[in-house]
Structure 1
Amino acid sequence: MAELQINTTQNVNISFTAASVGERMLAYFVDMLIKIAYVVVIYQIMFRLLGLDRILSGMDQWSQIAVGLLFFLPFMCYTLLFESLLEGQTPGKRLLRIKVVKIDGYQASFPDYLIRWFLRIADINMLGGIVALVSIAMSNKSQRLGDMTAGTSVISLKNNVTIDHTILENIQEGYQPVYPTVIRLSDNDVRIIKETFLAAKKSRDKNIMLKLKIKIEEVIQAKAEEADVNSFIDRVLKDYNYFTQKM
């Protein structure tokens, strides 16, 4: 599996392992089995048990098409729906422990998932998925056409250190938080803050540290109470862990 270097907006490189073609194919087949099961169950319930065919026979052609599309919509929008709800994963991807991420280090958004889903027509549905296989193999970031357009890739979460692990902080019992507005940050924001913070500390780059402090203050809409930048950022990281663990 290829190594995927994600360069964040703070110019911090984070390494992930790109999901292999085999993992992506297995996830696709798992999802396809779920979609087929949905169609079978819906057919049995609606036509065998409820007699929908008799109801449809009394409708005009356009009404029949509308009803058909209504029941087929979850099948068509399956990937878009689950990736949006599960933050880059479908049941198949979750089972294989792979995930869609932005190559700039941020969490992919609904427009990104929409672009990937729409371009499945060219990537996967046409020519039996050959376009997707070729583009993934040729891309140095393991991207199909939908990924290239959306600025995303699919990574493996089987690394010893995952995205979630990098934001954890040790909090002592009785800890008193200072900045309740840190909940404005997302897990991904905090991961980037911590990566940038550690890199700046290692290189003793006070300029980056100051820029990071200003950006944090802007996002959480609170001024630092600590005179020392390091203490402020460390407090923000701990406060975020405190509040998110309480939710």
Structure 2
Amino acid sequence: MKMIQEQVDIKTPEYVSLQFKLAGLGSRATAMIVDQFILTVLNIVAILLAIFITSSEMFYVMESGWLVAITIIGLFVVNWGYFFVSEYFFGGKTIGKNMIGIRVIQENGHSLTLLSAIIRNLLRIIDMLPTSYFLGIVLIFFHSKHKRLGDMAAGTIVVHERKAKKQRKSKIEKVIERRGLTVDSFKIEGWAVHNLGEKEWNLLKTYSQKILDLRDYPKRELTTEVASILLPKVGLAVGNQTEEELENMLLVLYLMLKEEWEFEL
């Protein structure tokens, strides 16, 4: 991997070169301000909820320390959970990051893993020291790849979203558009899609390239085989659907994974 000013070039294990623009202190700080505002509201709601639940026995609870303990645990879950859930389940983006157009990825260019998301956000506690993310700000400012401690330990970087190049639509994209398919055409949970990896994406990509050249029986066989492999993994049963319905389900899944795995080179 080599650095060129504010960009990082990554050579993946598959020998594909990817180039990302690193997110600097300014964009990360702006995203954090948005996220902290949201967290402030959530924290206030959590505190008011704790007080409301225990209000009938306020004196006893305060004496025993249970209210304090429950509130502290609740605030930790809210503050840590917000970043963990957002980054792991929503493509490395919190609400603030999404608004600014930045995201967290692995240093090898792949999506954020479960372990990295846990480590990165647990160490957020240290990056916040001594106050207002002072340590994290200093590390991001001086680190060559703008990493805070959590990024160093988790092997992650924060990059700007890459805008897709304007290009002619592929044959399969024209088919998808003609059929009126979108990512919302079928109910597929985000967590289920997130569990699909590069292997599944390559299978879908190969399928989408081949079905346009196949006819009748070979096409039906390929569709049935790929559907039986992938659809159960996202909670969709393969039963009495027609060939076209199975194709549409696979093409919608293709659309959902395309943004995650199809890199602009």
User: TM-score range with shorter-chain normalisation?
Assistant: 0.5 to 0.7
1:77 paired to 2:77: no
Q: What letter matches 2:253 in structure 1?
A: T
Match among 4, 24, 28 for residue 8 of structure 2: 4
Take 1:6 and 1:240, find their aligned partners in 2: how far apart are those partners?
33
Q: Percent identity?
A: 23
1:68 paired to 2:68: no
What's the CA shift for 1:138?
2.9
Relative contact order higher in (CA < 8 Å, ≥ 6 apart):
1
Take 1:33 and 1:22, find their aligned partners in 2: how far apart are those partners?
17
SS of residue matched to 2:103? strand
SS of residue matched to 1:126? coil
- Aligned pair in 2 of structure 1 residues 246, 28: CA closer, same or farther (>3 Å)? closer
Say if 1:106 and 1:188, in contact at 8 Å, map to a contact too: no
1:141 paired to 2:145: yes
CA-to-aligned-CA distance 1:5-64 (integer Å, 9 cap, x gap): 2221112220011112111001111111111111223444554xx463333423362533
Q: TM-score, normalised by structure 1?
A: 0.63
CA-to-aligned-CA distance 1:185-209 (integer Å, 9 cap, x gap): 5479748x98xxxxxxxxxxxxxxx
SS of residue matched to 1:125? coil
SS of residue matched to 2:10? strand
Unaligned runs of 5+ in 2: 179-192, 206-228, 231-246, 257-265
Match among 158, 163, 178 for residue 160 of structure 1: 163
What's the CA shift for 1:153?
0.3
Say if 1:9 and 1:105, in contact at 8 Å, map to a contact too: no
Q: TM-score, normalised by structure 2?
A: 0.59
Match among 23, 26, 31 for residue 22 of structure 1: 26
Pairs aligned (count) = 193
Match of 2:210 in 1: none
Match of 1:54 in 2: 56
- Aligned pair in 2 of structure 1 residues 188, 91: CA closer, same or farther (>3 Å)? farther
Mapping of 1:158-237 within 5 angstroms? 159-161=162-164, 169-171=170-172, 173=175, 186=197, 190=201
Take 1:246 and 1:138, find their aligned partners in 2: how far apart are those partners?
39
- Aligned pair in 2 of structure 1 residues 114, 5: CA closer, same or farther (>3 Å)? same
- Aligned pair in 2 of structure 1 residues 80, 13: CA closer, same or farther (>3 Å)? same
- Aligned pair in 2 of structure 1 residues 246, 87: CA closer, same or farther (>3 Å)? closer
Say if 1:169 and 1:241, in contact at 8 Å, map to a contact too: no
Take 1:44 and 1:9, find their aligned partners in 2: how far apart are those partners?
50
SS of residue matched to 1:153? strand
- Aligned pair in 2 of structure 1 residues 58, 169: CA closer, same or farther (>3 Å)? farther
- Aligned pair in 2 of structure 1 residues 147, 189: CA closer, same or farther (>3 Å)? farther
SS of residue matched to 2:130? helix
Unaligned runs of 5+ in 1: 176-182, 195-219, 222-237
Match of 1:150 in 2: 154
